[in-house]
Amino acid sequence: MPKPLIYIIIVNWNGKKDTLECLASLEKVSYPNFKTIIIDNGSKDDSISAIEQAYPNVTMIPTHQNLGFAEGNNVGIRYALSSGADYLLLLNNDTVVDAHFLDAFVAQNDDIMGSKLYQYHDKNRFDHLGGNWNKQKGHFDLIGANQIDEGQYDTPLDVDYVCGAGLFAKRRVFEKTGPLEPLFFLYWEESDFCARAKKHGFTIRTCPQSKIYHKVSASFS
């Protein structure tokens, strides 16, 4: 019986070098049934031809303009849903993935999940693992931000949101919740999406066995 089909959605905007490195890490992934979509947001750095030449099996969708992170992802989300995706992964282009990160997501099988997100240049130090809303302070308390991994987050945690650098969700979450809110051009789109999904009763948890390494804001430099 075939494994569930995962669509990986990566938004690229003048990030040729990072995107190629991300795709190189995906080449080593052990999970057998996934497809990758690159949404190119009007890049001027020859990204499209470089990526298509290096990775001809990757689906390239040019938008010819910078739609922003949220709407760029929405282009990929619509494509993945229409193509029969069972799961969708929103993955930043400035990431490198562990070879077994997709296996871990599918094995845990919660509605929405986020990887252990590490810093690319300090691979045992967390970027963060999502966050919980602090009503008193009016902001999110980030989980594990800048901490060394000493096993303190090796058990899945219920959270209010997971980072859009590596957000994995079941098909039905997007069908019920809808796409990302395009009014959030660059930030807050994942926390808004998770809040809406939570209102529909979907679970949001960390996935400790899934590991992603993030260059942190390189996507927007």
What is the per-residue pLDDT across 37-78, written as a single tens digit (0 to 9) for each? 999 999 999 999 999 999 999 999 999 999 998 999 999 999
- CATH number for 6-220: choose from 3.90.550.60, 3.90.105.10, 1.20.1250.20, 2.60.60.20: 3.90.550.60
Burial class (CB in 10 A: 0-12, 13-18, 19+), 135: exposed
Domain ranges within the chain, ordered by starting residue: 6-220
- pLDDT tens digits for 14-41? 999 999 999 999 999 999 999 999 999 9
27 phi/psi in degrees, rounded to 5: -60, -25
Locate 159 and state its tokens. Answer: 């959270």
